[in-house]
């Protein structure tokens, strides 16, 4: 029993992808569950290694040849590397722009009922300052790039997924080696 009409999917040869139509449900008179527009297609939900009709972020940016896929691979790889470098650069800029360093001492209970003094260093940044404005703009850029990388990975195209992972790994390797780290091994969402 064929249920492909429920998912709006059809399967093509191994070197091609499923390509969504440019259907607008609001303008369709036959938009109902299980009926109507049989040429409506969904994006693939499994990994594949094709390079025909691969839409990359925008409907006009379509990969159709091996050369275009190679170019997209390099561009995505560099974007992922840039993303990792941007994260490290923002941390470095933040350290350099911190102002108003204060030391606060507070009593804490010690062994055998004694009281010890513990000193805390407090650093801050002024909200209406150029460094904070720069951090805000760089944060916006970082968020947009991270969503682009996520959407590229969600194409499920194996080549593009490898480009994202390899670019992020290479970027981390190149830019993070000097970073004084406390590693949070649970952090996977940037």
| Nearest partner of 82 among 9, 167, 151, 188, judged by Cα | 167
Q: What backbone phi and psi angles, to 5 degrees, belong to 135?
A: -60, -40
Whether residue 73 is contained in a domain is answered as: yes
pLDDT value at residue 186? 58
pLDDT value at residue 70? 95
Distance between CA atoms of 83 and 87, rounded to whole angstroms? 6
* Residues of the chain predicted below pLDDT 70: 1-42, 98-105, 119-127, 179-190
pLDDT value at residue 47? 87
Cα–Cα–Cα angle for 10, 14, 18, rounded to 5 degrees: 35
Whether residue 17 is contained in a domain is answered as: no
Number of domains in the chain: 1
pLDDT value at residue 126? 64
Range of the domain at 60: 54-102+130-188
Whether residue 45 is contained in a domain is answered as: no
pLDDT value at residue 11? 39
pLDDT value at residue 162? 96
Whether residue 143 is contained in a domain is answered as: yes
Distance between CA atoms of 153 and 45, rounded to whole angstroms? 11
Whether residue 15 is contained in a domain is answered as: no
pLDDT value at residue 159? 95
């Amino acid at each position: 029993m064929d249920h492909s009409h429920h998912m709006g999917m059809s399967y093509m040869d191994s070197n091609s992808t499923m390509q969504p139509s440019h259907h607008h449900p609001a303008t369709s008179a036959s938009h109902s569950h299980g009926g109507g527009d049989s040429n409506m297609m969904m994006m693939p939900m499994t990994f594949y290694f094709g390079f025909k009709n691969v839409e990359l972020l925008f409907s006009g940016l379509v990969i159709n040849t091996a050369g275009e896929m190679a170019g997209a691979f390099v561009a995505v790889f560099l974007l992922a590397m840039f993303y990792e470098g941007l994260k490290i650069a923002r941390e470095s800029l933040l350290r350099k722009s911190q102002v108003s360093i204060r030391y606060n001492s507070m009593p804490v209970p010690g062994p055998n009922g004694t009281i010890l003094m513990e000193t805390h260093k407090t650093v801050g940044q002024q909200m209406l300052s150029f460094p904070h404005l720069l951090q805000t703009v760089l944060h916006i850029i970082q968020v947009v790039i991270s969503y682009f990388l996520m959407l590229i990975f969600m194409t499920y195209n194996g080549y593009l997924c490898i480009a994202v992972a390899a670019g992020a790994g290479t970027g981390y390797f190149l830019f993070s080696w000097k970073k004084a780290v406390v590693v949070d091994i649970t952090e996977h969402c940037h």
